[in-house]
Structure 1
Amino acid sequence: MSIEKILQALTKLEKLHKSLLEIAYKKTEAIKTGDMDSLNQLLKDEQAHVAGISQLEHQRQLEVTDYLRAKGIAPTDNPTVALVLENTNTDEEKALLGAARNKLLLTLETLRHQNDLNQKLTLQSLQFVNLTLEMLRPKPDQINYSKTEVKGPSQDKTYFDSQA
């Protein structure tokens, strides 16, 4: 059995992840400029990409499982391309599969870094908004509502005689 279908799945996954990376770059700019309408649209686009990636990942797992079964290897719960690399016979297939895998991993790592940056920028923007709101909000006078104790002779004595 050939690894063509696995290579096609990896190539499609890499293309979708690169497109998702472009969205992440645009999100960075939208966060920097404070363009909320653009950011909302980018989030919707991102959700669509994630759904497509999820479907392609499922397809990749099926292709890897089929390849391993054809080789007489019992697939695991999460069939990986690394397992296919270990069980591929020809050097050419190993090279092609390894290159496709490495390109995808590089794109994933870049995407992870960009998403971390976006998360930090979002947190920083939120902290700035909170600081600004605190500075604009009037501070209430400090009022002590605690019970004050009265000390002196009249504290326990009453002048009303209940027996009279």
Structure 2
Amino acid sequence: MSLQAIVQLLERIDEIHHQLLTIAESKIEKIKSGDMPSIEALVREETKLVRKLETTEVLRSRVVQTFLQEKGEATENATISDIKNYVTETEQQQLSKLQEAIIAQAVNLKTVNDLNQSLIEESLRFVNLSLDLMVPHKEDISYSPRHRDDKPFERGRSLFDSKA
């Protein structure tokens, strides 16, 4: 396997991360406006991209593993850092640049997704509060006896004077 195949896969991974980030940023406004059909469409598109990313990542792992096997090193969970030992200085810089770009995209994506999650949680709290305000709450609806003032019986007195 050539290094060019690895670079192409890394570029594809970076592009998918960029697309996911764009979708996540679009979801912010849709969540704020409560546009559920648009959010659902974005989630479907996001799911497709996540599957594509998983497939590309598996392929990248296989290509990197094959590349390292050709160089005489067999590692099961090969990383980009493992490849850098077998390439030229300019190729190392290219790999480092791609690696940093992917990491930056992933960090940005996590930040935006965390924001989306907090917006959704806030929306749910608002919905729950609204429901609590709209639904009337009745005091203890049950078959138990009503709460009575039983204090005279607690002191040992009865209603009847029993002196004879």
2:100 corresponds to: 102
Change beyond 3 A, Cα 1:22–1:139: same
2:161 corresponds to: none
Shift of 1:143: 5.8
TM-score of the two chains, using structure 2 as the length reference: 0.84
For residue 52 of structure 1, what is the amino acid of its counterpart?
A: K
Give CA deviations for 1:121-150 in whole Å, capped at 9, x if unaligned: 000000010011111111112468379997
2:124 corresponds to: 126
1:1-164 equivalence runs, <5 A = 2-76=2-76, 78-85=77-84, 87-142=85-140, 145=144
Structure 1: which 5+ residue stretches go unaligned?
Answer: 155-164
SS in structure 1 at match of 2:103: helix
- CA distance in 2 between counterparts of 1:26 and 1:111 reads 12
For residue 124 of structure 2, what is the amino acid of its counterpart?
A: L
For residue 16 of structure 1, what is the amino acid of its counterpart?
A: I
- CA distance in 2 between counterparts of 1:92 and 1:125 reads 49
Change beyond 3 A, Cα 1:79–1:131: same
- CA distance in 2 between counterparts of 1:36 and 1:52 reads 24
TM-score of the two chains, using structure 1 as the length reference: 0.84
- CA distance in 2 between counterparts of 1:89 and 1:36 reads 49
SS in structure 2 at match of 1:141: coil
Percentage of identical aligned residues? 34
- CA distance in 1 between counterparts of 2:140 and 2:46 reads 48
Shift of 1:74: 1.0
Moved over 2 A (4+): 142-154
Structure 2: which 5+ residue stretches go unaligned?
Answer: 159-164
For residue 43 of structure 2, what is the amino acid of its counterpart?
A: L
